[in-house]
Amino acid sequence: MTGPSFVTAEGVHRVLPGPVPVTLVREIALSIGAGEFVVVTGPSGSGKSSLLYLLGLLDRPTQGEILIEGRPTRALSRDAAAALRLASIGFVFQFHFLLPEFSALENVTLPMRRLGTLERAAMETRARDLLATLEMADYADRRPDQLSGGQRQRVAIARALANAPKLVLADEPTGNLDSRNAEQVFTILAGLANAGHAVVAVTHNLDLAAMASRQITLLDGRIVEDVRTQ
Amino acid sequence: MPLTLEIALTHIRERLRQTVLSVLGVTTGVGFAVAMAALMQGSQEDFIRRIIDATPHITVRDDFRAVPWQPADAVYGTSAVGLSSVKPKEELRGIRNPQPKLALLAALPGVAVAPTLRGPVVLRFGGRDVAVSLLGIEPKAEVRVSKLAHDIREGSLNDLYTTANGIIIGSGLARKLGAGLGDSVSLSSSAGTIRLAKVVAIVHSGVVAIDDATAYARLKVVQVLLDRPNVINEIRLRLDDVNGARALAQRIERRLGYRTESWEEINENVLEVFQIRNIIIYTVVGGILVVAAFGIFNIVSTIVFEKTRDIAILKSLGFTEADVRAIFVSEGFLIGSFGTLLGWGLGYALCRLLGSIEIKVRTFAEQTGLPVTYDWRHYAIAAACALTAAGLAGYLPARRAGRLDPVAIIRGAA
């Protein structure tokens, strides 16, 4: 099931300036719609994470344009990009990056509190629901250091989903997990796509990649393969 | 509670020991700033109060501020001509024709006036000679311009009227001479006159210069003793509004021509010393606050360094640079605020302690303790300084935190 395009890259290049400029990605052109589960694969240094940061407006292309729901983002201020990210994009990283001083529940409510569209009680209810969906309801009041690696990553996914983003970007979310937890995380991501989110995940694991509806392969920053598998 | 403030609180709570040390730095700065300000203002106000109580607010003297005009001025004007061995005309010193002047000054609103003849005499008692300044006064007028009647410890001011050649002496002078109430002392003037006078009262003003070296007698008695009949050399004024003394003194001098000094002008040197002392003290206290600010800078910088990953993730979630800055500036302000609150307590406690210490000092004025002024402005100024320093100390690392590139941090972490 794929819907209208949420994020589109048009001729995107990203070059890191310096004495020896480094090209991270080049000539990227793709479009990802709601309900798509896209896996980005490729060897180390091929530009997978860089592409994800560009799609999530954490980084800006040197050339080309990223469009979110058809709107160009190149001219957006940093604050405007942050606001768009807060409301519409969720990130999951290889490391969970949960705030260690806050409980799982508080970590999940953070983006909602920053967005400020819900009442405090409604935020807590939504956070508990998200944690319950990810089978983390019993761990809501635990701090990250009281959770296992897989549990932390599930809390991080719940946090990424806090503001009901249309696009979920996962940068090697299973990189630090055992195979059972990794499979669980990918099952969750696939479930998100089925629920209508556009999901883009970077992975080296080809077995997990097979769970996606579309597989993009990068080499030296260029898309060399873009295959719809389902 | 705002989210940024909540995050800031958790950060500083996690580093309790460092936070406590930084808070204590601010506490010390604010506490001592408040105590020093209270002490400085207290001693300054105490000094001024004593001056205002014990001395006239304005004194008109038989003296001129400008150099007397010379006949040669009329011939040569401003030409560069030197005249040597000019002998000034010998004139009898004193304020001429005082009655109209006294009447003029007495007619001013909020002004009390008393004539005085002041001169040096030697007081002898029991083989001891002490040089004093003898003031010839009219007791009825004197009560309106000074607290002489109030400061009398033994005897009465009115006894000057009932006792022929009565004299009032300062308590320090009485102690030096070993003289007491009812004793007869010998007065010798530079005019060669010697009189016996009876001590009718002993005065204690608390101002050492007055108590140790001043005596009072009736104006007529002093005029005879100094061989200056019907002459006065000072007109002393007391004002309802002491703050208007300088301006009024200038007006009177312009009108009468005689040197007219306000209490501020007479004590200008001492007041300048106060200013210098205040600058020194506030510089030291400011130094303490700067050191405290470095402590805050240190802890906030450390937190920023330790929290780079958190900063990156907050930005990836959609927090803006301003949000991140607000977190770390809040940390500076929180430490500054806790320190300020404790510092107010410390400052107040120090004020109470300093105010309770008994110290007997005889400098310009006799003191039995440290004068302390309690003023809310001291607390407000110390808080403003501390919070400004804390805000700046938090802002510098906060600005750095706000500018951190989340991609670079996430790449580094990965």
The answer, for B167 touching chain A at a CB cutoff of 8 Å, is no
CB-closest option in B310, B316, B414 to A58: B316
Contact A114 B323 (CB under 8 A): yes
Chain B residue numbers touching A94 (CB-CB < 8 A): 414
Nearest CA in chain A to B410: A93
| Cα–Cα distance measured from residue B244 to residue B145, given in angstroms and rounded to the nearest whole number | 16
Distances in Å between the Cα of A148 and the Cα atoms of A96, A130, A152, B362 are 11, 18, 6, 76
CB-closest option in A53, A82, A94 to B320: A82
- Identify whether B83 is part of a domain: no
Please provide the distance, in angstroms rounded to a whole number, between the alpha carbons at the two ends of chain A: 9
- Identify whether B330 is part of a domain: yes
| Cα–Cα distance measured from residue A185 to residue A11, given in angstroms and rounded to the nearest whole number | 31
Together in a domain, B240 and B285:
no
The mean per-residue pLDDT over the stretch A16-34 comes to 89
pLDDT at B14: 81
* Angstroms from A31 CA to nearest CA on chain B: 22
Q: State pLDDT tens for residues A190-228.
A: 888 888 889 999 988 888 888 888 999 999 999 999 888
Together in a domain, B249 and B275:
no
pLDDT at A215: 92
Q: State pLDDT tens for residues A147-173.
A: 988 899 889 989 988 888 889 998 888
Together in a domain, B157 and B220:
yes
* Angstroms from B320 CA to nearest CA on chain A: 6
Chain A residue numbers touching B315 (CB-CB < 8 A): 58, 82
Domain boundary among B237, B258, B279: B258
Backbone angles phi, psi at B250, to 5 degrees: -65, -40
Contact B321 A79 (CB under 8 A): yes
| Cα–Cα distance measured from residue B235 to residue B317, given in angstroms and rounded to the nearest whole number | 81
Chain B residue numbers touching A78 (CB-CB < 8 A): 320-321
- Count of beta carbons in the 10 Å neighbourhood of residue B74: 8
* Angstroms from A25 CA to nearest CA on chain B: 15
Chain B residue numbers touching A83 (CB-CB < 8 A): 318, 320
Together in a domain, B17 and B134:
no
Q: Which of B254, B335, B259, B263 is closest to B292 using CA atoms? A: B335
Q: Classify residue A144 by its DSSP letter.
A: G
Contact B318 A115 (CB under 8 A): yes
Contact B317 A83 (CB under 8 A): no
Q: DSSP labels for B238-266? A: EES-GGGHHHHHHHHHHHH-S-EEEHHHH
Together in a domain, B318 and B240:
no
Under 8 Å CB-to-CB from A79, ≥6 apart: which residues? B320, B321, B322
Contact A102 B317 (CB under 8 A): no
How many C-alpha atoms does B88 have within 13 Å on its Cβ side? 7
Together in a domain, B337 and B296:
yes
Chain B residue numbers touching A97 (CB-CB < 8 A): 309-310, 312-313, 316, 413
- Identify any residues that bridge with B152 across adjacent strands, giving them in sequence order: B203
Contact A58 B3 (CB under 8 A): no
CB-closest option in B316, B319, B414 to A91: B316
- Identify whether B10 is part of a domain: yes
- Identify whether B263 is part of a domain: no
* Angstroms from B303 CA to nearest CA on chain A: 13
The b/e string for B216-232 (b: 16+ C-beta within 10 A; e otherwise) is bbbbebbbbbbebeebb
Chain A residue numbers touching B9 (CB-CB < 8 A): none
CB-closest option in A83, A97, A101 to B313: A97
For chain B (414 residues), the mean pLDDT of every run of 10, in chain order, is 86 83 86 88 82 84 76 73 68 81 91 93 90 92 87 89 90 91 91 90 86 92 89 91 90 90 87 84 79 77 79 86 88 89 95 86 66 89 86 84 82 62
* Angstroms from B307 CA to nearest CA on chain A: 9
Together in a domain, B112 and B251:
yes
Under 8 Å CB-to-CB from A209, ≥6 apart: which residues? A39, A41, A203, A215
Beta-carbon contacts below 8 Å between A and B: 74
Together in a domain, B274 and B172:
no
Q: State pLDDT tens for residues B37-48.
A: 898 888 888 878
Q: Is B300 helix (H, G, I), strand (E, B) or coil?
A: helix
Give chain B's domain count: 2
Domain boundary among B210, B233, B258: B258
The answer, for B403 touching chain A at a CB cutoff of 8 Å, is no
Q: Are A185 and A173 a contacting pair, CB within 8 Å?
A: yes
Mutation site, A91, A106, A166, interface B, largest B CB count within 10 A: A91
Average predicted confidence (pLDDT) for chain A: 88
* Angstroms from B313 CA to nearest CA on chain A: 6
Together in a domain, B188 and B276:
no
Together in a domain, B210 and B299:
no
pLDDT at B91: 65
| Cα–Cα distance measured from residue A230 to residue B190, given in angstroms and rounded to the nearest whole number | 125
Tell whether pTM > 0.90.
no
The answer, for B251 touching chain A at a CB cutoff of 8 Å, is no
- Identify whether B75 is part of a domain: no
Chain B residue numbers touching A58 (CB-CB < 8 A): 315-316, 406-407, 410
Chain A residue numbers touching B311 (CB-CB < 8 A): none
Please provide the distance, in angstroms rounded to a whole number, between the alpha carbons at the two ends of chain B: 33
Together in a domain, B120 and B248:
yes
pLDDT at B88: 64
- Identify whether B41 is part of a domain: yes
- Identify whether B79 is part of a domain: no
Nearest CA in chain B to A56: B316
Q: Are A35 and A196 a contacting pair, CB within 8 Å?
A: yes
| Cα–Cα distance measured from residue A74 to residue A67, given in angstroms and rounded to the nearest whole number | 8
The parent domain of residue B184 ranges over 64-69+91-258
pLDDT at A1: 46
Together in a domain, B218 and B292:
no
Q: Classify residue A129 by its DSSP letter.
A: H
- Identify whether B264 is part of a domain: no
The topology (CATH level 3) of A34-53+76-228 is Rossmann fold (3.40.50)
